[in-house]
Amino acid sequence: MKETLLAEESCFESEESLRKNAAHPDWRVRYAAAVAIGESGNAEFLPLLEQIVKTEKTRPLYSQPSCHFENAPDDTAMAEMVGPIRARFDKEYDDFTLQAWQCRGRVLQAAYFAYAKLGKESKFLNEEMFRILKEDVDDAAMSAGYVAFAACGGKEVYDRLVEIGGCTHYCAGVEREKTLRILREKCKLH
Amino acid sequence: MFCDRFFLLKNVSELRKAIETGAQTPRQRSLWNMMLSCARSGPLNYPWFTPFVAVVTQEKQDVEKAKRVIATYADKLNHQNYCTGLQFHFWCFAFPHAKWAMYYQWLCALGAYTPEEREELDAVFLNYQFTNFYYGMRTKPEPECADNQTLSLTLSNVIVGYLFSDTRIGKIMLRDGLKRLPEIIGRLPASGYTGEGSDYMDCVNGPAMWICCEALEEITGEKGVAFKRFEPNGVRPVDVLDICAREWMPGGLLLPWDNYGYNCGVKAPVAYAAKITGNARYYEMLEKDADWAYDIGTGWAYDDMVWTLIFWPTQAPSVWEKTKNWFVSGVGGALVGAGDTQYLMQMWDESGVECPTRSHVNPNAVIFNAYHLPVSADGSKMEFDCTRFEYPDTWRVVDFLSMDSTSRYNYGDGCIGAHSCVIVDGNESMRAMTEYPQTKSEDCSAEEGYLSSDATPLYAEHFPDAIRVSRKSSLHCDRFFVIEDDLRFGEEHLLTSRFLLRPGAEPCENGVRIVTPEGVVLSLCEVGGGSEISVENVKNYPHKPDLACVIADFNRRAKKLDRLFVAFMSKRFSDYEQIGGFRAVADEKGDLCYKEAAKLLSDPGETFDLSLPPFMEREAKICSVWWFGKKIAKKEGKAVLVLPAGLIEPELYLNGKKFDLSPYDRSMQLIRPHVPLPDEFSGEGQIDVVLKTRVPVDHYYGKGWGTYGMNGGVSLAYAQEEERPEKIEYDGKTLRVCTNKKEYVTEYVRSGDEK
C-alpha cells in the first residue's frame, strides 16, 4: 500500500505525474487522479477525465455476488469487528474482477465531482452519466453525476433528465431535485 | 503523522496517576481493573481496550498486544472490501476506522513502531479512509444530509485527515471535513434530538458529539466548543449530550424510542457531560443506573467504557436541578415521582414521512417505568415473525441489504398502530405522507409536573374534520399519573386510546392491570369508565424485552371525548438486599454436571458478586461457562430471588433442585429475573443457590446488536402485597384515588375546561 500512496500523492504534485497516474493500473491511484483533476479546476484536463471514465466503462464494477466471510457476518456488524476475517467467494475470480468489485463507483464518483469543478461540458461524460442514471444502480456515482449536470448542463441535459425520470436512491434523489431546480433557473425554464 | 502527543488524550500522566492510585471512585478503579484483565487475558477478544491499556501502563506486554490488534485490523480491511455493509452502509465503517487510526496514533506516540512498519501502516489507514470514507462523505448531499451517517463520515475525515495532515490527501480530507462538520452539527435540530430514536442518538450521535468537541478544540484551538451554538439551527453539542442522557430511564435502560427498542445506556457521553457541566444528574446516572459489564456498541465500536474512564469527572458536582421532571420543546418530556420509582415519558417528536422506519409515528405516546423496570412495550419486531402490524400499504422493496438481491419488508411497526397513541377509526397504518409541522402546540411545566401536546395536524392530514387531538400527562401526589386525551372531531369516529404494555394482563375495573414478569404492577383505569376495553396478546413483538406485548384499547364512538386515565404503579416485592460472596467455578469444557460443579463450589476460594464474569473482574483465564454457588440466608416469608441480568442459557438450582427459568428467557437479556421462590422456601433458613451461565467472551457476542452478559449481581427481596386502586372518583374538580392502603386526593381541571 506504500507504493500506492506514493503514486496517489504524486497526482497532486505535478501535471506530469497526474497525466501518468490517470492511467495507473491501480484504481485507487486513478481515483486520486480524478480527485486531483477536480482540485486543479483546470478544464484542460477534461480529456484526461474522459480517459479515466472510459477505463471504468471496461470494468465489471457491479457484478459482485454475495461473499462468505470467515469469523464475520456479511453486514454492518463487521464494522465493529477487528478480525481476523477472511473473505471467500463461491469460486476463484481474477484480480481484475476482484479489484472492480472493491472499487464499484468510486472512480466514477471522483471523476464526476471533478467534472463539476471543471465547468466545461463534455458530450462523452454526459452520455456516460445518462447511461449510469438509466441503470439506476450506484447511488454514489449517480449523485456525483447530478452535481456535474447542475454545474455543466443546459436545457438539453434538463430535458433528458426529465425524460429519464426519478431514481430509487436517496442521495441521488436529493441531488436530482437540486439539479433540476438549478437547471430550470439557469435556463430560465418554468 | 505527529507523535509528540496522544491525539485527544490531554494529560496521560495525570490520567495514569488517577487510575493507578484509585484516587477517584471505586467504580473508576474497578473499571480499570476490568479493562486491564480483558486486554491482557484476551487482546483479540477485547481489542477495543488494548490501545488504552498500552498507553496507561506503557508496559511492553501491553504495547505488543495492542500492536497485534492493530495488525489484525489492518489485515481485515482488504477482506472487508467485499462486505455488503461497507459498500452500502459505509458510514458504519467510517467511525470505527477513525477510532483505529487514532489508536494507531497513540501507539506511534508511544514509539511502538519502526519507521518501516509505520510507512506501511500509515499508507493502509490513510488510503482506506480516502477511497472509502472520503468517497462516502462526498456521497451524502451537502447540506441536506445532517444525520448520524453524515456526521460519522465527516468526523472520520476530520480525524484521519488531521492525523495525516502531513500528506496532500490528508489535507484535503481535513479541509473538506472541517468545512462540513460545523454545518452538520448546526443542522441538527435545536433541541439536540435528531428524531432517530434512542439507539441512534445514544449509540452514534452522542458518542460522535464528544469527539466533535474534543477534536475541534484540539485541531482549531477553539475552546468551549460544547457550549457554542452552531448555525443554522443554533444547536449546542451539550444539548445533544443532554438528550442522550434524557433517554436513560430510571434503571439505566434507554427509552424504546425507535426501531430498536429498549437498550442499555451509553456512558461516555454522560461522563463527558458530567465533566464539562458539573451537573449532579449525570454523576448520579453513572453511579446508580449504568451497566458496567459490557458495551452495547457506540459508533460501531466497543470503547464506551474506555472513554467513560477517560472523562470520569475529577471535580465534585456543582450544579443541582430543582426537579427530575423535564421536557424539551418539540421532542417530549418525562415526569418522575416518588424518588425515581414512578416514571412516565410522553413524546411528540416529528415522525418520518411515508416510510417511518426510524422516526416512528408516536404522537404523544407514553412510556411507563416503575421501580427502575420497564412497564411499556415499544420498538419493532426486528427479525422475528410477527404479522400483527403488517399493513397492505406498508411494504417496501430495497436493494441495499444484500449484494446481489432485493429484500421486501413491512414497516408497519413504525406506524401509529404499534404505539401507545390515539387511533382514529382503526387507521393503524396512519403516518405523515408529506412534510408539515406535526404538532400544533405544547404546554409543559417541569416544576408543576405536567406535559401536554396537541398533535392535531398529523390526524388532520387523514381526518380533515379533526379539531383537536391532544394528550396531557400529569404527576399527582408524587405517586400516580393522570393521562387526559382531549379528542374533538366534526364527525363521529371510533376513538381508541391505545396502550402497548409488557405481557401479563389481569382483569381490572374500568381498565387493565399488567403484572410484569418482575412483579411490577400497572393499573391503568379510565376515570368513570364508558369505553369498551379490549385486551390483545401479541407474540413476537416487540423483540425486547419480552418478545410479546399486550395491546390495551379503550374504544368509544364519539365526536367529542375528554378521557381521563389514572396510571397507578406498584410492586409485589420489597426493597432489594444485595448478596455477594459467590464461589465461582470455570467449566472450561462446558461438561460439568450439577453434582460435580456443586462439589467444586464447596471448596474454599475467591468469591465474586456476579456483577461481572470473573475473568473480567480479575486477571484470569477466559472461559465461557461458569458455575456460581452460595448458601443464602433468608428470613421468614415468601421471597423473590433476583438474579443478574444478561444470563445466557442459565440453570438455577435451589437446594439441588433445578428451577425453571424459561419465563425469563427473553427478558433476562436486559432485565434481572425476579424469581418468586416456591412455598417450600418460605421458612427462615438457608438456601443452597447454584447458578450456571454462559458469558460472552468477547466484544462481539451480540453479532452487531450489542453485547450483553452477566451484570447487576444477586439480590433477595420478599413478597409483598402491591398497592392498587380500588375506587377512583372525579367530580370535575377533585380526583380521589382510594387504594387498598391509602387515599390520594388531588385537584384536576380538564384541559377542555381550561379554555
The SS3 assignment for A55 reads helix
Last residue of one domain, picked from the residues B571, B602, B629: B571
* Residue B464 DSSP one-character state: T
Considering the domain architecture, whether residues B505 and B545 belong to the same structural domain is answered as: yes
Considering the domain architecture, whether residues B45 and B166 belong to the same structural domain is answered as: no
Q: Give B167's contacts in chain A (Cβ within 8 Å).
A: 5, 9
Q: What is the pLDDT of residue B403?
A: 76
Task: Note down pLDDT in tens along chain A; length 190 residues.
Answer: 899 999 999 999 999 999 999 999 999 999 999 999 999 999 999 999 999 999 999 999 999 999 999 999 999 999 999 989 999 999 999 999 999 999 999 999 999 999 999 989 999 999 999 999 999 999 999 999 999 999 999 999 999 999 999 888 899 999 999 999 999 999 887 6
Considering the domain architecture, whether residues B342 and B271 belong to the same structural domain is answered as: no
**CB of A177 less than 8 A from some CB of B:** no
Q: Does residue B319 form part of some domain?
A: no
Ranges of each domain in chain A: 2-62+104-186, 63-103
Chain A residues 64-123 with CB within 8 Å of chain B: 64-67, 69, 72-87, 89, 101-102, 104, 106, 109-110, 113
> What are the cell numbers at B574?
420489597
Considering the domain architecture, whether residues B606 and B684 belong to the same structural domain is answered as: yes
Q: Does residue B724 form part of some domain?
A: no
Interchain pair B76, A82: CB under 8 A: yes
Q: What is the pLDDT of residue B24?
A: 64
Q: Does residue B317 form part of some domain?
A: no
Considering the domain architecture, whether residues B475 and B567 belong to the same structural domain is answered as: yes
Decide the pairing of beta strands B520-526 and B548-571: antiparallel
Domains contained in chain B, number: 4
Asked whether the bond before A84 is cis by omega within 30 degrees of 0, the reply is yes
| Average pLDDT, 10 consecutive residues per value, chain B (755 residues) | 94 86 74 90 94 96 98 96 95 97 98 97 98 97 93 97 97 98 95 88 92 97 97 96 96 91 93 97 93 85 94 91 96 95 97 91 97 96 90 89 82 96 98 96 97 98 98 98 98 98 90 96 96 96 95 97 97 96 95 97 92 82 93 96 96 96 94 95 96 93 82 96 96 97 97 68
Interchain pair B141, A171: CB under 8 A: yes
Last residue of one domain, picked from the residues B524, B550, B571: B571
Give residue B67's domain range: 11-82
User: How many DSSP H helices and E strands does chain A contain?
Assistant: 10, 2
Interchain pair A74, B704: CB under 8 A: no
Considering the domain architecture, whether residues B236 and B138 belong to the same structural domain is answered as: yes
Interchain pair A1, B123: CB under 8 A: yes
Q: Give A81's contacts in chain B (Cβ within 8 Å).
A: 76, 700
Considering the domain architecture, whether residues B340 and B480 belong to the same structural domain is answered as: yes
Number of Cβ within 10 Å of residue A70's Cβ equals 11
Considering the domain architecture, whether residues B516 and B371 belong to the same structural domain is answered as: yes
Give the domain CATH number at B230: 1.50.10.100
Considering the domain architecture, whether residues B551 and B584 belong to the same structural domain is answered as: no
Nearest Cα to Cα of residue B86 among A91, A84, A81:
A81
Q: What is the pLDDT of residue B754?
A: 61
**CB of A37 less than 8 A from some CB of B:** no
Q: Give B82's contacts in chain A (Cβ within 8 Å).
A: 64, 67, 87, 89, 101-102
Considering the domain architecture, whether residues B581 and B566 belong to the same structural domain is answered as: no
Considering the domain architecture, whether residues B375 and B398 belong to the same structural domain is answered as: yes
CATH numeric code, A2-62+104-186: 1.25.10.10
Q: Which of A66, A78, A102 sits opposite B404 (nearest CB)?
A: A66
Give the domain CATH number at B360: 2.70.98.70
Nearest Cα to Cα of residue B323 among B215, B229, B444, B237:
B444
Please work out, in degrees rounded to the nearest 5, the angle formed at the alpha carbon of residue B754 by the alpha carbons of B752 and B755.
75
CA of A124 vs chain B CAs: smallest distance (Å) = 22
Residue linked to cell 475552546: B223
Last residue of one domain, picked from the residues B537, B571, B605: B571
Q: Which residues contact B379 (CB under 8 A, 6 or more apart)?
A: B256, B258, B259, B260, B261, B262, B413, B541, B542, B543, B544
Q: What is the pLDDT of residue B23?
A: 60
Considering the domain architecture, whether residues B338 and B265 belong to the same structural domain is answered as: no
